Structures are given as C-alpha cells and as structure tokens.
C-alpha cells in the first residue's frame, strides 16, 4: 500500500503530515512511504532524513498523486501549481487524511464524493478516550495557546511577573483568557508560569476545577443554559446569553493588560465575545491575541493576520498559530495521523475501512461515492437552495 506524504497547497503552511519518526514506523508496518520533495523543509525535516527513515523522496507529480492509496496532508485540499485541483488527482478508492475544513470547502467535499475518495478530516475525530492519541485538534490547540501568550508578552510594554526590586515593586500583569478548551488551558498555564494573574471565562461550568488547578480564577457567568456540547466541545449559545456574558466580562477586561481569546464552536463562526466598546475600555498599552481569528474572531475588531490598534490597544489576529512552531507542531500532528492511519490498515498492511469502527465511522466525511457525514451533507443541501 502506497502512502504519500504531500506538499501543502495552502500558502504559508509550514507543517508536514509525517516526520522521519513516523515514516520509520509506517515502513516497519509494511507500508510503502513516498514523500514529495521538500515537504518537510519548512518544518526543518530534510529530504535526506526522510530517505534515511525508509521513504522514497520524489518530485510532486500527477502520476505520484494518482498512485497513492493514502494521501497524508496538513491543510485542506486546494490547487497545486502545474498539477491542478488536488481532489481531482486522487484515484478512486483512495483515502485522504488531514485538516480538510469540510464546512469551508464544500465544493471539494462534492469532488471527493464524486471521485469515490474516502476522506478522514482529523477535526472530526471523536473525543473519546480511545481516540486521544489521534486528537489533532487538541495537539495543535495546545501549541496555539502557548504561542498566544508569548505573542502577547512580546508586545506588552510591561513585565508579566511580580518583581520586587531596589527601584520599587512591579505589579504582575493581569491576563483574561476567554475559552478554557485545550488552547485556553495551555494559555493559562503559560501565563501563570510567566507570573501573571489570570482570570478565565468559559461557558462550561465543568471546566472550573481545571482552571483553578492551573492557578487561574474562574469568572462566574449568567446562571442560564450550560454551554457543554457534544464530545466536550462548547456549543453555540443564544444571543441573550452572549449579551449578558459580555456585560460581566467588560469589568474584568477593563482591568486587564492582556486578553487571550480562544473560544470556538466546531463548524460554526467564532462566537463574538468582545465588542469594540470593551476594547476601548481596556488600558492603553493592552494587548489582545485572538486565536479564533481564522473563524472570524472572538473580538469585533479582529482582522485575520493583521495588527489593529484601537484606543491604544493592540489587537493581534494570527491564523495558523500552530504553524509558527512547525517542528513540534508537525511532530505532534504526525503522531496523531499515524494512530489514525493504523485504524484503517489491517494486519497484512492492506487498506480496510470499517464504518462500524468507533473512531473511523464518526470521522468519515466521504466514502463509497457519498457524503456520509450528516452535518456536512446537510450543509451541502442548504447550499443547493
């Protein structure tokens, strides 16, 4: 079975879907691994390292793509220079694994179904105990939460920690983290290590204990509906709840030096947690890092991949934050992909997709010429009308 580690079609994507470590393990499992030349360069994995691990390094080509039984990617399928649309290059019955962003690429989903390609978007991996090693959303979010705090510290015109010096006492920075998922929890831990005082807002009361265990203080929100969604994710909340949440958060934000926003709902635009008025109430010199920028942002004034200054407050809206640390991000992602790949390869090293498998079934997007993921199929029907 041929597994192809592909170059990325998304401009600026620096991660790679396999590393020499995971290639070696795949080769030991009896798989034939091919790596497109230069696929790992931006993550500092050389072609020579992939060759030493047992892979065949080859130039990207139409024939190479069409020969692959499994295509491993990081970002969604797109257009490749000189090769055209990636989805059209895959052979019938092939499998593609990656962050495929189905809701944002409905035309690609249709093309994959039409080509009888089985697609496994890693963002659909269920949050069950057995699948923790395959949870790419969490592995990449942990990097994003860490880096968000470093970005804020690099732009804040003051120290993070409490310092008592001969020149006087420096008070610790006050940080508000919005969203206590994996990214938020990592942001809390990182800000606390740097010595900041950290307050945290989340719509799921169940995360209060986790927040406090990391040294953060939980901001109590309206005693209304719970924000706990399926699989431990946050769900989309009503406008009345969001309005009351903003009212409570305004006083905490006004006293903050840094705000890190991480709130996201799978398949939905990022919830709007910070209004322009809330930004203007922050202290001049404050910094907002909105890592939900790729989904529209949690802050009203966020602009993806731009720096906005409003009333002396710097607003950063980085996208693909994990990609800014490509070596470790790739290492973690590649391990997630390897574990997912094991679920569709039998003991003889042949492809076997079991739709009753408790990981594979919920993850499948397209299979057997159909869109089998109900939510995406529903979105496609909506788009037709």
Residues labelled as active-site residues: 127, 132, 135, 138, 233
CA distance 341 to 357: 13
80 strand-pairing partners: 84
Rounded to 5 degrees, φ, ψ at 378 are -65, -40
C-beta separation of 259 from 253 below 8 A: yes
For 140, the token pair is: 């990449």
Vertex 188: Cα angle to 184 and 190 (nearest 5): 115
C-beta separation of 249 from 178 below 8 A: yes
CA distance 2 to 76: 20
For 187, the token pair is: 């942001």
């Amino acid at each position: 079975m041929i597994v192809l580690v592909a170059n990325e079609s998304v401009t600026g994507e620096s991660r790679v879907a396999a590393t020499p470590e995971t290639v070696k393990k795949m080769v030991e499992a009896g798989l034939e691994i091919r790596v497109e030349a230069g696929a790992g360069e931006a993550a500092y994995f050389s072609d020579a390292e992939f060759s030493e691990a047992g892979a065949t390094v080859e130039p990207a080509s139409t024939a190479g793509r069409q020969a692959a039984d499994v295509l491993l990617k990081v970002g969604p399928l797109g257009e490749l220079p000189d090769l055209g649309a990636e989805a059209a290059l895959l052979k019938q019955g092939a499998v593609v694994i990656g962050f495929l962003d189905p809701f944002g690429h409905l035309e690609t989903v249709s093309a994959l179904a039409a080509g009888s390609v089985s697609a496994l978007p890693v963002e659909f991996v269920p949050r069950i105990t057995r699948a923790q090693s395959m949870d790419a959303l969490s592995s990449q979010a942990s990097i994003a939460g860490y880096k968000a705090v470093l970005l804020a510290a690099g732009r804040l015109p003051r120290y993070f920690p409490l310092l008592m010096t001969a020149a006087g006492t420096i008070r610790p920075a006050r940080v508000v983290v919005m969203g206590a998922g994996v990214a938020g929890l990592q942001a809390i831990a990182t800000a606390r290590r740097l010595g900041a005082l950290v307050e945290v807002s989340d719509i799921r009361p169940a995360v209060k204990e986790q927040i406090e265990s990391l040294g953060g203080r939980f901001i109590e929100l309206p005693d209304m509906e719970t924000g706990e969604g399926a699989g431990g994710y946050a769900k989309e909340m009503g406008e009345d709840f969001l309005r009351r949440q903003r009212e409570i958060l305004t006083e905490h934000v006004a006293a903050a030096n840094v705000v890190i926003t991480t709130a996201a709902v799978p398949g939905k635009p990022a919830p709007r947690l910070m209004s322009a008025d809330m930004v203007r109430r922050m202290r001049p010199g404050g910094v907002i890092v909105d890592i939900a920028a790729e989904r529209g942002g949690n802050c009203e004034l966020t602009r993806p991949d731009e720096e906005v200054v409003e009333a002396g407050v710097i607003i950063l809206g980085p996208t693909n934050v994990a990609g800014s640390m490509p070596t470790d991000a790739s290492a973690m992602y590649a391990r997630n992909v390897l574990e997912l790949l094991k679920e569709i390869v039998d003991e003889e090293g042949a492809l076997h997709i079991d739709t009753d498998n408790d990981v594979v079934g919920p993850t499948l997007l397209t299979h057997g010429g159909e869109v089998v993921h109900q939510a995406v199929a529903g979105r496609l029907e909506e788009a037709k009308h």
